[in-house]
Chain A
Amino acid sequence: MEERQSKSRKEQNITVESERGPFFRWLDRRTGIDSLLRSALDEPIPGGASLAYVFGSGLLFLFLSQVITGVFLALYYVPSADHAHTTIAYITKEVTAGSFIRSIHAYGSSAIVIVLLLHITQTFLYGSYKGKRELLWLAGCVLFALMLGMSFTGYLLPWDQKAFFATTVGTNILSEIPLVGNALKSLLRGGTEMGTLTLSRFFVLHVFMIPAFIFAGVAAHVYLFRKAGAAGPIQGDAATLEQTTEAFYPRQVLFDIVFALLIICGLGLLAHFAPTELGPKANPADTQYVPRPEWYYIPVFQWLKYWEGALAIIGILVIPGFVALLFVALPFLDRRPERRPWKRPVAVTIYAVIFIGLGVLGGLSHRNDLRDPAVASQLAKQHEDVESFMKTPFEPELSGSSLAAANVALADPLAAKGKDIFEQQACNACHGDAGVGTAAAPKLIGVGAKYSSEKLQALLKQPNSKMTAGGMPATDLKDEDMKALVAYVRSLK
């Protein structure tokens, strides 16, 4: 059979080779693109193409969309506690198509979670993890974990109230881990408290480290999938399936493209008509704020409420750890070749219980929020704050080296008078405004720490040889003006 297949491919090759243009033949001789395309597109799918198989390629499509929109967002984003919120507000409120692209990126993360759950459910129900596919499943589990890491780290980056407090709670969970918990939390935060170093760490994880692992994980996952072959339908006799076997191209490719189009249309409509909002800047001093994580973390958030004190370790670590281990070890535990879900009641029941359980927890969380009047009113107020922040026009951030900062130093009237003298004597011509320095002369900021007032006065009256060589003239001023000038120069910081 293999022989027949390779023979038919060879024949195919000849016909294609002759009907392709000269450029394609030129390219093929140098790159082998023809056989690459062939092996990519002729992947056999037992039982034929199916809409049930679109989720994997849908995830790949979404991941690429996140990479592209993410790279573009980085054109304007600055990962620092001082500027992160301003730059996201700038993207959202001012940059052309900024709100749209940010929304595609933010909703894209939710879309990935949804399609990932569909992908896992399809794989589980079809028993597609069976039959020498343990490593394929493991690679998928690693990708699942990496994706959760992406959504967790990405959530903090806008540095608004929601982001700050949800991440405060999220990182606090780590301290429940015995022995190393607090060390881990500090490592992730870059300190004991949330701050600008936390943001840097989350940024580096979100845009450099986790994506690198995801690329590697996707490569491994796709390679292992091609190595194992498509699993095909859950039942049917060998002869029928063989007859209905179809190549990946064209029908499955078409299905995959249609699914990708559906995803991008859905995201585009959402992004256009209900763009992602941005709340007011994070205020760590706010003690009233009620944080809520992204919707897909709500069930876990609710679950954690039930575990207190000595039992916390069981709820936070032991049970989730056990469920995760069960999930990862699935292809090793379930060795039967049986793939039909109705013949695998135990596995399917456990899967259903976990999913229904998560759904119920999410519902409970929502109900609790509605029933507690204090929480409900605070959540409503937070929602209003977000709405009103979104309505205010973008306010550019005053640069730190600006006038306002410089004027703080001039509370001293003597220094303020000195500033006028500094201008009149045209000291700023060479030493720059506010003594920042120019190509012609060094900066004066910080000289106050190096020289006493008397020494400065002496140097101004009679510059040393190095100063004279640089073009510094002697300053001839009345005593009181000289004092004021020295006071001003010493105030420069």
Chain B
Amino acid sequence: MPQINTGSSAGFPPARGGPIPSAARRSFLGVLLAAGAASVGALLSVPLLRFVLHPLLRITTPLSWSEVGRVEEFSTSASPFKKLITVEQRDGWRKIVSERAVYVIKQADGQFAVLSSICPHLGCSVAWRTENNEFLCPCHGGRFAPDGKRLGGPPPRGLDRLESRVEEGMLKVHYQYFRQLVPDKEIIA
């Protein structure tokens, strides 16, 4: 320890180890302090953990329904009707708005159904060919019937049907993505 020559009563006293409490008392105190500090630390880390886990504990992409159009629009058309819908996705603090093409078809019972235009083979956009009365994928020649059933080509399944409903005359759809190259429809996002 450095000693400072202070002369008078003011200044620095000589330093030394000083009376050290008994080892037993010290280690008991040590355990007490360590336990106390650990529990306070654990308490303090609760908000930090919740902060980190926020994106996992909360659904960041809430179910969003996109408007396809008024039902009158599709009533007259016998063949599948192509429509661009606006899909909104949440990505943390931002939102991504994109356009997706869907086909509206009228079923035998008069109800509407909405098909995704993404080919279940490798994800190209399928086109409706009025002259052949079928959907044709421009990439690898996958063919689908007007109701979306697979007719031929490499796709493992028919066109994917999207969840839809009619609300006050407005056809709405819940846009989703499905895994490609598998025989059964499987939601991926």
Taking Cβ atoms with an 8 Å cutoff, the residues of A that contact B are 1, 5, 8-9, 12, 15-16, 19, 42, 44-47, 68-69, 72, 75-76, 83, 86-87, 89-90, 94-98, 100-101, 130-132, 227-238, 241-242, 244-247, 249-250, 253-254, 257, 261, 264, 337-340, 343, 394, 396-399, 401-404, 423-426, 428-430, 433, 440, 473
Q: Of B15-23, B67-75, B154-162, B166-174, which stretch is located at the interface?
A: B15-23
A242 near B125 with CB under 8 A, answer no
Q: Nearest B residue to A420 by beta-carbon distance?
A: B84
Q: Nearest B residue to A241 by beta-carbon distance?
A: B13
Taking Cβ atoms with an 8 Å cutoff, the residues of B that contact A are 1-2, 4-21, 23, 26-27, 29-30, 33, 36-37, 40, 44, 47-48, 50-54, 57-58, 82, 84, 86, 90-99, 101, 119, 124-127, 137-139
Chain A residues whose CB sits within 8 angstroms of the CB of B16 once the complex forms:
1, 5, 44, 242, 245
Contact of A132 among B2, B7, B8 (CB under 8 A): B2
Q: Provide the bound-state CA to CA distance between A108 and B100, in Å.
A: 48
- In the complex, how many angstroms separate the beta carbon of A266 from the nearest chain B beta carbon? 14
Contact of A76 among B6, B84, B93, B127 (CB under 8 A): B93
Contact A95 B98, CB 8 Å, known A76-B92, A234-B10: no
B12 near A72 with CB under 8 A, answer no
Which 10 pairs of residues, A with B, have the shortest CB-CB distance? Answer: A241-B13, A429-B124, A245-B18, A90-B93, A97-B47, A131-B4, A46-B13, A396-B95, A429-B125, A403-B97
Chain B residues whose CB sits within 8 angstroms of the CB of A402 once the complex forms:
95-98
Chain A residues whose CB sits within 8 angstroms of the CB of B93 once the complex forms:
76, 83, 86-87, 89-90, 94, 394, 396-397
Q: Nearest A residue to B126 by beta-carbon distance?
A: A426
A75 near B52 with CB under 8 A, answer yes
Q: Provide the bound-state CA to CA distance between A59 and B124, in Å.
A: 60
A47 near B13 with CB under 8 A, answer yes
Interface centre among A42, A253, A402 (most CB of B within 10 A): A402
B50 near A97 with CB under 8 A, answer yes
Contact of B12 among A101, A232, A250, A428 (CB under 8 A): A232
A90 near B84 with CB under 8 A, answer no
Q: Provide the bound-state CA to CA distance between A15 and B57, in Å.
A: 51
- In the complex, how many angstroms separate the beta carbon of A160 from the nearest chain B beta carbon? 15
Q: 17 extra interchain contacts, Cβ-Cβ under 8 A, other than A253-B33, A398-B95, A440-B124?
A: A1-B14, A12-B20, A44-B18, A46-B12, A96-B57, A101-B47, A101-B48, A131-B4, A227-B2, A229-B2, A250-B33, A338-B11, A397-B94, A401-B96, A402-B95, A426-B124, A429-B139
A261 near B95 with CB under 8 A, answer no
Q: Provide the bound-state CA to CA distance between A86 and B94, in Å.
A: 8
Contact of A337 among B11, B54, B98 (CB under 8 A): B11
Q: Provide the bound-state CA to CA distance between A397 and B90, in Å.
A: 9
A254 near B33 with CB under 8 A, answer yes
A397 near B95 with CB under 8 A, answer yes
- In the complex, how many angstroms separate the beta carbon of B19 from the nearest chain A beta carbon? 7
Contact of B54 among A46, A98, A338, A425 (CB under 8 A): A98
Chain B residues whose CB sits within 8 angstroms of the CB of A337 once the complex forms:
4-8, 10-11
Q: Nearest B residue to A250 by beta-carbon distance?
A: B29
Chain B residues whose CB sits within 8 angstroms of the CB of A98 once the complex forms:
51, 54
- In the complex, how many angstroms separate the beta carbon of B124 from the nearest chain A beta carbon? 4
- In the complex, how many angstroms separate the beta carbon of B93 from the nearest chain A beta carbon? 4
Q: Provide the bound-state CA to CA distance between A244 and B119, in Å.
A: 85
Interface centre among B2, B47, B54, B84 (most CB of A within 10 A): B47
- In the complex, how many angstroms separate the beta carbon of B122 from the nearest chain A beta carbon? 8
Q: Provide the bound-state CA to CA distance between A125 and B33, in Å.
A: 31
Contact A68 B82, CB 8 Å, known A96-B54, A433-B98: no
Q: Nearest A residue to B122 by beta-carbon distance?
A: A440
Contact of A257 among B17, B33, B98, B127 (CB under 8 A): B33
Chain B residues whose CB sits within 8 angstroms of the CB of A16 once the complex forms:
23
Chain B residues whose CB sits within 8 angstroms of the CB of A46 once the complex forms:
12-15
A343 near B23 with CB under 8 A, answer no
B10 near A247 with CB under 8 A, answer no
Chain A residues whose CB sits within 8 angstroms of the CB of B98 once the complex forms:
402-403, 433
Chain A residues whose CB sits within 8 angstroms of the CB of B99 once the complex forms:
403, 433
Q: Nearest A residue to B19 by beta-carbon distance?
A: A246
A42 near B17 with CB under 8 A, answer yes
Chain B residues whose CB sits within 8 angstroms of the CB of A426 once the complex forms:
124-127, 138
B11 near A131 with CB under 8 A, answer yes
B97 near A399 with CB under 8 A, answer yes
A236 near B94 with CB under 8 A, answer no
Jot down 9 A-B pairs with beta carbons below 8 A, ordered by A.
A9-B17, A76-B93, A83-B94, A96-B50, A238-B13, A242-B13, A402-B96, A402-B97, A429-B124
B20 near A42 with CB under 8 A, answer yes
- In the complex, how many angstroms separate the beta carbon of B107 from the nearest chain A beta carbon? 24
Chain A residues whose CB sits within 8 angstroms of the CB of B15 once the complex forms:
44-46, 229-230, 232, 245
Interface centre among B16, B21, B58 (most CB of A within 10 A): B16
Contact A423 B84, CB 8 Å, known A96-B54, A398-B94: yes
- In the complex, how many angstroms separate the beta carbon of A5 from the nearest chain B beta carbon? 5
